[in-house]
Amino acid sequence: MTGTIEALAFATALFLAIHILPSSFLRQAIIQKIGLNGYLGGYSLLSALSLIWMIWAYFEAPYGPVYWEVGNWARYVAIGVMLLASILFVGPYTGASATAIGGQKKINDEKTRGGLNAITRHPLMWSLTLWAGVHLLNNGDLKSLIFFGGMGGLALAGTFLIDAKRAREVGADWKDFIAHTSNVPFLAVIRGRASLSVKALWWKVLLGVFVFFAFFHLHTMVIGVSPFPM
């Protein structure tokens, strides 16, 4: 079911529901029924299928009404923001993370407080939030509002949902962890609660820059729209 704004809205709502509802009381109830491995497997499969449907529905949907149009300056903003987003994107894949799935077991590992985690304890969620934000800035049509608004809104909300879940799971150790990290990027660094290490960051930054240029130059071929400022 694709090709309409309604189909995109339904696919987006389903994607959001699959990610939000299990974070509530349903999670433990489902685990008790089918076990943790069954829950994680089913959750991953449903998440992947709903994301594929959502992306498909986005490309097939009409643009709908256009609520805003911005100038060429927004593309320059997008380039700068997407460079940071690409660097944050590699965070969970290049080191320990206390906020990733199963990360509560690593809460006392010093590596979860350094590197890109010193910038934010939710590098992937903020990467997606920034990505969605600059795409919304540059695309004021209804289908983009639904798609990028849904993705970005979920990622931003996810930072608070994960924090709340970890607080319930970990307790006192979580309080110590958040005292040395921040949700909002660079806030802990600015306040002196975290420090950036060139030794821990340099290769991750380079990898993020590589990812940025790969996305930037493949954007036209894959998405069909050039990200280059006109």
Residues 81 and 154 in one domain: yes
Amino acid present at 131: W
pLDDT at 23: 64
Of 105 and 134, more confident: 134
Residues 117 and 48 in one domain: no
Burial string for 170-188 (b: 16+ CB within 10 Å, else e) reads: beeebeebbebbbbebeeb
Residues 50 and 85 in one domain: no
Residues 76 and 165 in one domain: yes
Q: Residue 209: is its pLDDT beyond 80?
A: yes
> Average pLDDT in the 99-104 region?
84
Final residue of a structural domain among 12, 32, 62: 62
Distance CA 5, CA 154 (A): 19
Residues 36 and 142 in one domain: no
Query: Smallest Cα–Cα separation from 88: which of 122, 118, 127?
Result: 127
Residue 15 included in any domain: yes
Query: Smallest Cα–Cα separation from 92: which of 71, 73, 112?
Result: 112
Q: Across all residues in the chain, what is the average pLDDT?
A: 92
Residues 217 and 154 in one domain: yes
18-22, 143-147, 156-160, 174-178: segment of lowest average pLDDT? 18-22
Residues 111 and 167 in one domain: yes
Final residue of a structural domain among 17, 45, 62: 62
Residues 123 and 190 in one domain: yes
Q: What's the pTM value of the predicted model, to 2 decimals?
A: 0.92
Residues 99 and 189 in one domain: yes
Q: How confident is the model at residue 196 (pLDDT cuts 50, 70, 90)?
A: very high
Residues 176 and 158 in one domain: yes
Amino acid present at 160: F
Provide the percentage of residues in the chain whose pLDDT is more than 70: 98
- Number of domains into which the chain is organized: 2
Residues 173 and 77 in one domain: yes
- Expressed as residue numbers, the domain containing 47 is 1-62
pLDDT at 39: 80
Query: Smallest Cα–Cα separation from 70: which of 2, 137, 167?
Result: 137
Residues 91 and 159 in one domain: yes
Residue 122 included in any domain: yes
Residue 181 included in any domain: yes
Query: Smallest Cα–Cα separation from 217: which of 106, 79, 48, 100?
Result: 79
Query: Smallest Cα–Cα separation from 170: which of 112, 91, 94?
Result: 112
Amino acid present at 186: F
